[in-house]
Chains A and B, each alone.
Chain A
Amino acid sequence: DAKTTQPPSMDCAEGRAANLPCNHSTISGNEYVYWYRQIHSQGPQYIIHGLKNNETNEMASLIITEDRKSSTLILPHATLRDTAVYYCIVRINAGGTSYGKLTFGQGTILTVHP
Chain B
Amino acid sequence: NAGVTQTPKFRVLKTGQSMTLLCAQDMNHEYMYWYRQDPGMGLRLIHYSVGEGTTAKGEVPDGYNVSRLKKQNFLLGLESAAPSQTSVYFCASSYQQGQPGLSYNEQFFGPGTRLTVL
Contact = CB atoms under 8 A, between A and B. Distances in A.
A49 B43 CA distance: 19
Contact of A44 (B48, B49, B90): B90
Classify the secondary structure of A's interface with B: loop
Classify the secondary structure of B's interface with A: strand
Most A Cβ at <10 Å: residue of B33, B92, B102, B107: B107
B74 interface: no
B10 to A, nearest CB: 12
Contacts of B106: 46, 49
Interface residues of A, number: 28
Interface of B: 4, 31, 33, 35, 41-45, 48-50, 56, 58, 88, 90, 92, 94, 96, 100-112
Given A44-B107, A93-B104, A94-B103, 16 more contacts: A30-B102, A41-B112, A42-B112, A43-B90, A43-B110, A44-B43, A46-B106, A49-B106, A51-B102, A93-B101, A93-B103, A94-B31, A97-B50, A99-B31, A102-B43, A102-B107
